[in-house]
Amino acid sequence: MGFKPIPTIISVILTLFIWFILPVPTGVTPEAWHLFAMFVGVIAAIIGKAMPIGAIAMIAIMLVALTGVTNTSPSEAMKDALSSFANPLIWLIGVSIMISKGLQKTGLGARLGYLFIAVWGKHTIGIGYSMVLSELLLAPVTPSNTARGAGIIHPIVKAIALSYDSDPAKGTQNRMGKYLSLVNYHANPITSAMFITATAPNPLVVDLVAKATHSQISLSWGTWAIAMFLPGILALILMPIVLYWMYPPEIKNTPNATQFAKEKLKEMGKVSLHELIMLGIFGLLLVLWAGVPAMLFGTAWSVDPTTTAFIGLCLLLLTGVLTWDDILTQKSAWDTITWFAALVMMATFLNKLGLISWFSNVLETGIGHLGLHWVTACLLLMLAYLYAHYMFASTTAHITAMFAAFYTAGIALGAPPMLFALMMASASSLMMTLTHYATGTSPVIFGSGYTTLGEWWKAGFVMSIVNIIIFVVIGALWWKVLGYW
C-alpha cells in the first residue's frame, strides 16, 4: 500500500466535509471553497505523513487540474496546476540544495567545523560557539536546514561528545552531549531566519508578501540579509549562554577537543583543489546574491538570484566538483521543487479566487472588535501564528496554510507592511525551535537520545521567547534605523 490508511482517511474526510457539507460562506465563491477543501486535505495529509510530501504534491496537482476549480477548460486547468513550476523562487531553492551537495562531497563543511573547534574548543561553550559559527557560514548556501544542521554539523557534535564518553546509551549525556546537541539544533532556526537561501520555505514567504502587497514589497536577498543580520547575530550570541544556564554541561573545560579537531583535520589532509573551488564559488554566490556588482557598477550589472544559483551550479559542473550523477541523486532538491510548486500553486489560486482576503477580513474583524492598538493586535497575530506550529510537522505546510491570511490581516489592522513582513518572516523560521517534529533537523538530533522530550520542549519554549523578544524589539529598532518602515 502506497499510503498510510488513517491519515489518508482523515484528509479525505476533511476534504469531503468542507466540499459537500459545510455551507459556502457569504463572500466566497464555490470554486474558492472547493479549492480550500482540497487545500485542507493536502495540509492534513502532509501533517499526518499520509505519503511522502512529493507524492501528495502530485495528487494535489492532479486534483486541481481534474476538478477545474481554477478554470473550466481542462487544458487551461492543467496549465494552472503546473503554473508554479515556472516560478524562479522555486528553482532558486532547488538549485541551491544541489549546490550544497558540494559542501558535503568536498568535505568543506566539516573542515570549517573542525577548524573553528581547533581554535575555540578549549571549553565546552567554545565548542558550542564553533558550531554556531559553522552554521552561520554554511547557511547562505545551504537551503536544506536539515542537511546543514543534521547532515554536516550534528555528526561533528556527536563525534566530540563521544570522545568525552558522553553517550546516552551509558547515561552520560549530561557530560556535554545534551548541551552541544541543543546548541547544534537551536542555531538552526536562527540561521534559517537570516538568509532567504537558508531554508526552503523562505522564498515562499517572499512570494506571499509580494502577492499580499501587490508587489509593493519585494524582499531581495540583500534586503533580507541586512534586516536579519543584527537580531540574528544577537540571538546566536545569547542562545548558547541561555542553554548553558538551563542545561550546564558537567565537563566545562575541554583541552582535548582542540587536539581531537586537529587530528580530524590531519585525517582529512591538505585542502583539496575541489574544496578551494567550492570556497571560491561560495564567495561568488554571496557577492552576487548581495547585489555587490549592481552597487559598484550600476543596475546594468545586477544578476537575478535564481540566475546566480544556476551560475554556481554550472561552475561546479564545469569544474568537476559535482557531476550530473551527483545532481540526479539529490532527491531532496527534486522533491522540494515538486512539493514547493504544488503548494505555491494552491496558495496562489486561493489568493486569486479571493479566499485569503476573505479569511484575513475575518481575522481583522475578530481582532478589531477587541479595540487593540495595531502594535498589540499584530503581536497577537504573530504569536498565534508562531505557536500554532505545535500543530505542524512542516514549516512549509504551516506557512502555506496561515502566512498570507495573518499577514494581510496585520496590514489591515494598521501594521507597516515592511515591518510586519519582517516580523512574520522571522517567526516563520523561529517557530522551528518548539518541538522535536518541527522541521527535518529536529527528529535527527532529538533521535540521537541526548535529551528527554520534556527537556527538548522546555528548551524550545524558552528559546522561542528569547528569540522573539530579540527579533521583535531589537529587530524593529534596527529596521527603523535602516528606514524599512
Residue pLDDT, tens place only, 142-176: 887 887 888 788 888 888 888 888 888 899 999 99
pLDDT over 70, % of the chain: 100
Partnered with residue 123 across adjacent β-strands are 253
pLDDT computed for residue 286 by the predictor: 84
pLDDT class for 89, splitting at 50, 70, 90? confident
What pLDDT shows up at residue 264?
Answer: 87
Of the two residues 1 and 282, the one the predictor is more confident about is 282
CB 437 within 8 A of CB 393: yes
Whole-angstrom distance, CA of residue 397 vs CA of residue 7: 15
**What sign does the CA torsion over 276, 278, 280, 283 have?**
negative
C-alpha to C-alpha distance for 410 and 412, rounded to whole angstroms: 5
98 and 322 in contact (C-beta within 8 Å)?
Answer: yes
3-state secondary structure of 123: strand
Taking residues 3-32, report their average pLDDT: 93
| 303: helix, strand or coil | coil
Query: According to the per-residue pLDDT averaged within each range, which of 136-150, 200-214, 340-354 is highest?
Result: 200-214
Distance, C-alpha 296 to centroid of its chain: 31
Q: Which residues contact 423 (CB under 8 A, 6 or more apart)?
A: 378, 382, 471, 472, 475, 476
The mean per-residue pLDDT over the stretch 64-77 comes to: 95
Amino acid identity of 342?
A: A
Structure confidence by residue, pLDDT tens digits, 47-61: 788 998 889 999 999
d(CA 101, CA 151): 11
Cβ atoms of 424 and 407 within 8 Å: the answer is yes
The pTM of the full predicted model, rounded to 2 decimals, is 0.80
* pLDDT on residue 260: 83
Residue 74 grid coordinates: 481542462
User: Which residue's entry shows cell 544556476?
Assistant: 310
N- to C-terminal Cα separation, the chain: 53
Amino acid at 431: M
Q: What per-residue confidence (pLDDT) applies to 187?
A: 96
